[in-house]
Amino acid sequence: MAARQKLYVTLSAFLFIGMLSNVSATIFTLQNSCSYTIWPGTLSGNGAAILGDGGFALAPGASIQLPAPPGWSGRFWARTGCNFDDAGNGHCATGDCGGTLKCTGGCAPPVSLVEFTIGSGSAAKDFYDVSLVDGYNVGLGVRPSGGSGDCQYAGCLTDVNGICPKELQVTDGSGAVVACKSACAAFNTPEYCCTGDFAIPQTCTPTEYSRIFKNACPTAYSYAYDDLSSTCTCTGSDYLITFCPTN
């Protein structure tokens, strides 16, 4: 009887270890291809694990790998022009998340975002997109690797700050354009914010401003209901997230 119990315990442990081995993390590699330091921010949804402590500095040419468990959802973005003290308190010119190095909430627009929902099963799809709905501050690209399915590249290679209309521009003290607002942030009207009578896809359609973003970055969200050409899927992939991509 004791031998049977020992065999049962051994087999149970073996099966448990086997189950753990089938649960693998998704690896996000964040790469800074900008010519200046950025401070990526991370935000996790639905109580998911916080990646990278919420935020950190990333020098030009540097990269970092962040593992995420199955079912993870959240977003990444670049903060620019940041100054933090030794306690991690400070401010960023763009993408600020409440004056702290380690973000615990969302970011201040305008900012370019990459958003993910990772599948929770071996055959479950990941969903991801690059969004300019909250405006633009730096170029951003997402390249899947090792997955199956559509697994398309998503991103924004064009420097939107260079073509940003004056009424959407955010400038620094020298007058240089550091970010480009969304029309919603600039004008706060229902037709640009997809609210009120414009709160459904049939009434909230592309505008002259969202078309500027879409023409510059065809695979990125340009306004709230820009789903058909902007939402991507892949299964079992890792992801390279590049800030200021060139291809």
Give the CATH number for residue 64.
2.60.110.10
Give domain status of residue 165, yes or no. Answer: no
The answer to whether residue 145 sits within a structural domain is: yes
What is the reported pTM?
0.87
The continuous run of DSSP H or E covering 240 comes out as: strand 238-243
Q: What is the rounded distance in angstroms from the CA atom of residue 237 to the CA atom of residue 233?
A: 10
Residue with tokens 């004008």: 187
Q: Which of 1-5, 33-37, 152-156 has the lowest mean pLDDT?
A: 1-5
Residue written as tokens 């590699």?
A: 29
213/218 Cα distance (integer angstroms): 8
% of the chain residues with pLDDT over 70: 90
Task: Give the HSE-up count for residue 239: Cα atoms under 13 Å, Cβ half-sphere.
Answer: 35
User: Is 179 within a domain?
Assistant: no
Please check whether residue 200 lies inside any domain of the structure: no
Residue 9 lies in a domain: no
Q: Which domain holds residue 119?
A: 26-159+217-243
Cα–Cα distance, 194 to 206 (Å, whole number): 10
The pLDDT tens digits of the residues spanning 190-246 come to: 999 999 999 999 999 999 999 999 999 999 999 989 877 789 999 999 999 999 998
Task: Please tell me the total count of domains within the chain.
Answer: 1
Average the pLDDT over 59-86 and give the result.
Answer: 97
| Rg, the chain, Cα only | 21
Question: Is 223 within the bounds of a domain?
Answer: yes
Domain membership flag for residue 7: no
Quickly count: other Cβ atoms within 10 Å of residue 172's Cβ.
13
| Position 50 in a domain | yes
Q: What is the mean pLDDT of the chain?
A: 89
